[in-house]
Amino acid sequence: MAYKLYMAGTLMPITPSKVTVKINNQNKTMTLINGEEINILKAAGLSDVSFELVLPQVSYPFSNGGAQSAAYYLSLFERLKVSKTPFQFILNRQKPGGGMFHYTNLTVGLETYEITDDAGEGFDVKVKINLKQYRAYGTKTVAVQPAKTSGGTATATVKAAPRPTTTAPKAATYTVKSGDCLWNIAKKQLGNGADYTKIYNLNKDKIKNPNLIYPGQVLTLPS
């Protein structure tokens, strides 16, 4: 069974044996004056993801190909923590025949990571990682302009300013490079990583699995 974990488009060297995704809610339980409890249902909360990684310092036959040194991944984790930028967490599990078994794709931020250097583990390093789901949000500005009525009394009208938008240069095609994933391609070429599904839908004749693309593939981009 193929079981791979990506953080910010980087394949982890050894997939953890267990990954916990906690689906949170914001419901609130209250006690009424008569002693009864009620549950106030609210919007869903942000999910938490936790797992422990092994960063090998030597080559193992079960590690994912092209694995870097432990220092490479520790440097990546630190950049993700201090960058204040959300990234993509992808967990891909496939059946032996190649069909999709389980696929998790969340936009997250790195909350904490804990490094354990245990002599009993030889030269390997263990890292406990906690991620928090990220939801994009925006603010609106208002412009207050006094307006006079027929009686001479001033009133205020509130107009919401349009939310600024960002655009990224678009190309008709894109040639996949080593280390690319659809999320990063969509972020660079379309301005939003979540638009990776648009690229996938346009290239289903070339991509059987949105998580498996190869250097040299020429992908059509949305116009």
In sign, the C-alpha dihedral spanning 70, 76, 80, 83 is positive
Does a structural domain hold residue 90?
A: yes
Tokens 């354990």 locate to 116
- The answer to whether 162 and 149 have CB atoms below 8 angstroms apart is no
pLDDT at residue number 134: 93
Number of domains in the chain: 1
The CATH number linked to 72 is 2.40.30
**DSSP E strands: which ranges in 48-124?**
48-55, 87-94, 100-116
pLDDT at residue number 103: 75
Domain boundaries, position 11: 1-27+40-136
For residue 169, the one-letter residue type is P
Q: pLDDT for 24-44, tens place per residue? A: 999 999 999 999 999 999 988
Does a structural domain hold residue 87?
A: yes
Which residue numbers in the chain have pLDDT < 50?
1
Does a structural domain hold residue 34?
A: no
Does a structural domain hold residue 213?
A: no
